[in-house]
Amino acid sequence: MNPTGNTILITGGGSGIGRGLAEAFQALGNQVVIAGRRQKALDETTAANPGMKSLQLDIENPAAIRAFAAEAAMQFPALNVLINNAGIMRPERLLAQQPDLADAEATVTTNLLGPIRLTAALLGQLRKQPSSAVINVSSGLAFLPLALTPTYCATKAAIHSYTLSLRYQLRSTTTEVLELVPPYVATDLMSGASDPRAMPLGAFIAEVMKILKTQPTPTEICVENVKSLRFAAESGKFGAIFEGLNAAMADVH
């Protein structure tokens, strides 16, 4: 993926990793469009970054996603990069879980069905361009789960699997399919912004952009901090890392 000269749509772009990516890509000369549910967050981000655009999106609503994709393609006909970043992460105490499974169902709808639906709705638009890309944001927890957030980790594992299949199906086209695999990053997701164990957001974004600017784009974008999780199984230390992570993170929420 060429890191400049694109028109990039980033879901969840009003805060956290999404906003960090939006600002970094805009600094490289891309036209950036951020999307999300919270209009206030979108407005604050675009006001702080003149030239950045926004569109409101309810990622849980299939009809809204289809209408959004049509509007995005109409307003930004050069749109050639989709970054599926929007996500939620909620603790689930399985022994005391409510029978309606509201948190689990919302997590599946937002983190898994949302990216699948939006990718399907925009793939025709992306394929019109001379070159294009889909970047799915998974997590180090896709490869080694945090027991406190079982559905979040399951959706990220599913996004990893979906990304592999999407990449294979598009292998003979001009649309690249990439996966961004964040570690624990200091954002408002699960109150991590003030946790000293989390990787600072600025450091994470800087390392991601360095990879994109200086390396032939890898299919998986992994900063150093996430590699112990990403390659836990390959290292032969999965069990020890799993126990250590879950013991250390038991007090996050």
Say whether pLDDT at 253 is over 60: no
Which of 8-22, 55-69, 184-198 is predicted with the least confidence, judged by mean pLDDT?
Answer: 184-198
**Among 93-107, 114-128, 129-143, 161-175, whose mean pLDDT is lowest?**
93-107
Provide φ and ψ at 36, rounded to 5°: 180, 175
176-199 residue pLDDT tens: 999 999 999 999 887 666 788 899
Phi, psi of 30 (to 5 degrees): -85, 150
- Minimum mean pLDDT among 143-157, 178-192, 227-241: which range? 178-192
Q: Please determine, for residue 47, whether its predicted confidence score (pLDDT) is greater than 80.
A: yes
Q: Which CATH number fits domain 7-248: 2.20.25.90, 3.40.50.720, 3.20.20.80, 1.20.1250.20?
A: 3.40.50.720
Tens-digit pLDDT profile for residues 200-216: 999 999 999 999 998 77
- CA pair distance 239, 247, nearest whole angstrom: 12
- Which candidate in 152, 162, 168, 184 is catalytic? 152
pLDDT at 46 over 90: yes
Segments making up each domain of the chain, as ranges: 7-248
Q: What is the pLDDT of residue 215?
A: 79
User: To the nearest whole percent, how much of the chain has pLDDT over 90?
Assistant: 89
Q: Which residue has the tokens 């996004």?
A: 159
CA distance linking residue 176 with residue 76, whole number of Å: 20
Q: Are 120 and 62 in contact (CB under 8 A)?
A: no
Using alpha carbons only, how large is the chain's radius of gyration in Å?
18
The whole-number average pLDDT for the span 114-142 is: 98
pTM of the model: 0.95
d(CA 216, CA 151): 33
With tokens 């599913």, the residue in question is 158
152 is catalytic: yes
